[in-house]
Amino acid sequence: MAKEPMLKFVTVGRDMPEKRNAEDRKDDFLEIYGEFIDEKAREQSSRCSQCGVPYCQSHCPLHNNIPDWLRLTATGRLREAYEISQATNTFPEICGRICPQDRLCEGNCVIEQSGHGTVTIGSVEKYITDTAWENGWVESFAPVVEREESVGIIGSGPGGLAAADRMRRAGFKVTVYERADRAGGLMMYGIPGFKLEKDVVLRRVKQLEESGVDFVLNCNVGEDISFDAIRGKHDAVLIATGVYKSRDLGGPGSGAEGIVRAIDYLTASNKVSFGDEVEEYESGDLNAHGKKVVVIGGGDTAMDCVRTAIRQGATSVKCLYRRDRANMPGSQRETQNAEEEGVEFVWLSAPKGFAGDPVTGVMVQKMRLGQADATGRQSPEVIEGADYVEEADLVIKALGFEPEDLPTLWGVDGLEVTRWGTVLADFQSHATSLEGVYACGDIQRGASLVVWAIRDGREAADAMTAYLDQAAAVAAE
């Protein structure tokens, strides 16, 4: 009888791919985690307990068939593992790199709850798909039947690209409109290379291009082309713009030179990594080299900013957050990586204003945690008389993102939005108030994770397919 290949979590400990030394990795923008070798990937996959109710799967927004592809990896059936992984996730190699697994699949792993250490799901997912690319298993595709209908997708982030992939496979003509000069959205210009190297995104874009998806770059809807023109050209339209309007911060001196938005700072850094000339970077406006940097915020964008500043050669990098470590929204793993690289976190601290113009410091209020708010999190309260000034030459505001006012920007009548400014759309069909127009990702749900945008894009594509199928059936009658 063959030996059971799984359930080895009792005898085999949790292990991650080797992480590069902090002193080495903070000098470049390469990914910090190595790749599993085949033997190690099999070993770690074999730790899966193959539970009857897999909480890893139910806590994944895409409901990936994680136990199935872990078992296939453990038994050396990698191509099948990739096919199972790809069946539910358009971009598994991207999720394997940037998903907060500690809050999703790995954080809910049964053996993690029992004290044995979670299965390293994200690292195995990355290994499976990288192996698939290396072996040529990931190919451009052609639909079985070409259809006459065309679809316009506004935005080429994870939601838009996931929908483009699914719609093209269904045979539709697909055109993606992107206002930046490269496709990929925040995956391209918002997330630094040390978390997601850009060739990983570019090869997916190339696959879609080779499969017949048409990308129209440097195309700003409302300026270069009207929304009504896009609706007129296509049988269905998907709004997948993401949210790019930065939440602002007031207070005395908030308009001083040297106080910048996180999205501008990260975009400049990513463009420089492509070899682009960026005037604001060259002038030092969006460059941390030789500066005392203070980043305000506690989410994943703040973590991206502090770690980018380290790599640009800042003399010091501090992160101000108004709550404590246990209550910060960003990934604990990213916080640890930042600390290893030399970032100092100043907990229970909030800015009340700024000194100097150009900025020379942040006026900081010390906080304590009081009663819980409506979400259950303790609300920060000011400690009177504990203010001080934190020296800074560059202040980066990483306070999150809000939706742009699309109806006004695009001159669209009838496109309903919520009180938060997101596009009002059904959360199952993703249909908006306009006939044949759908929305997905952050512009519908608010700033969220890449994995949620992928799920939304896939769902919206299926709903649009059903809509176009029904329209075709009516026309044929």
Which residues contact residue 333 at a Cβ distance below 8 angstroms, ignoring those fewer than 6 apart? 100, 102
Examine the domain organization and report whether 129 and 186 are in the same domain. Answer: no
Examine the domain organization and report whether 355 and 254 are in the same domain. Answer: yes
Examine the domain organization and report whether 319 and 368 are in the same domain. Answer: yes
Judge whether 12 lies within some domain: no
Two tokens, residue 17: 């791919």
Judge whether 309 lies within some domain: yes
Q: Which amino acid is at 461?
A: A
Chain Cα centroid distance, residue 80: 27
Instruction: Check residue 211 and give its pLDDT.
Output: 98
Examine the domain organization and report whether 348 and 393 are in the same domain. Answer: yes
Instruction: Specify which residues 394 forms β-bridges with.
Output: 293
Examine the domain organization and report whether 382 and 252 are in the same domain. Answer: yes
Residue 352: domain span: 248-397
CATH number for the domain that contains residue 197? 3.50.50.60
Examine the domain organization and report whether 205 and 300 are in the same domain. Answer: no
Judge whether 1 lies within some domain: no
Helix axes 38-45, 121-134, angle to 10 degrees: 140
Instruction: Specify which residues 353 forms β-bridges with.
Output: 363
Which of 203, 202, 191 has the alpha carbon at shortest distance from 140? 203
Which of 243, 228, 176, 179 has the alpha carbon at shortest distance from 418? 243
Judge whether 469 lies within some domain: no
Q: Are strands 316-320 and 292-296 parallel, antiparallel or unpaired?
A: parallel
Instruction: Check residue 383 and give its pLDDT.
Output: 96
Judge whether 461 lies within some domain: no
Examine the domain organization and report whether 28 and 109 are in the same domain. Answer: yes
How many domains is the chain built from? 3
Segment holding 442, helix H or strand E:
helix 442-445
Instruction: Check residue 390 and give its pLDDT.
Output: 98
Judge whether 66 lies within some domain: yes
Residue 313: CB atoms within 10 A of its CB come to 13
The answer to whether the predicted template modeling score (pTM) of the entire model surpasses 0.85 is yes
Two tokens, residue 244: 């790019």
Examine the domain organization and report whether 300 and 317 are in the same domain. Answer: yes
- For residue range 140-150, list pLDDT tens digits in order: 999 999 999 99
Instruction: Specify which residues 225 forms β-bridges with.
Output: 221
Examine the domain organization and report whether 282 and 384 are in the same domain. Answer: yes
Which of 265, 92, 255, 235 has the alpha carbon at shortest distance from 174? 235
Per-residue pLDDT of the chain (477 residues; tens, 9 = 90+): 345 677 566 567 678 788 999 999 999 999 999 888 889 999 999 999 999 889 999 999 999 999 999 999 999 999 999 999 999 999 999 999 999 998 899 999 999 888 889 999 999 999 999 999 999 999 999 999 999 999 999 999 999 999 999 999 999 999 999 999 999 999 999 999 999 999 999 999 999 999 999 999 999 999 999 999 999 999 999 999 999 999 998 899 999 999 999 999 999 999 999 999 999 999 999 999 999 999 999 999 999 999 999 999 999 999 999 999 988 888 888 999 999 999 999 999 999 999 999 999 999 999 999 988 887 888 899 999 999 999 999 999 999 999 999 999 999 999 999 999 999 999 999 999 999 999 999 999 999 999 999 999 999 999 999 999 999 999 988
CATH number for the domain that contains residue 105? 1.10.1060.10
Examine the domain organization and report whether 237 and 253 are in the same domain. Answer: no
Instruction: Check residue 52 and give its pLDDT.
Output: 87
Backbone angles phi, psi at 38, to 5 degrees: -55, -45
Examine the domain organization and report whether 240 and 252 are in the same domain. Answer: no
Examine the domain organization and report whether 392 and 255 are in the same domain. Answer: yes
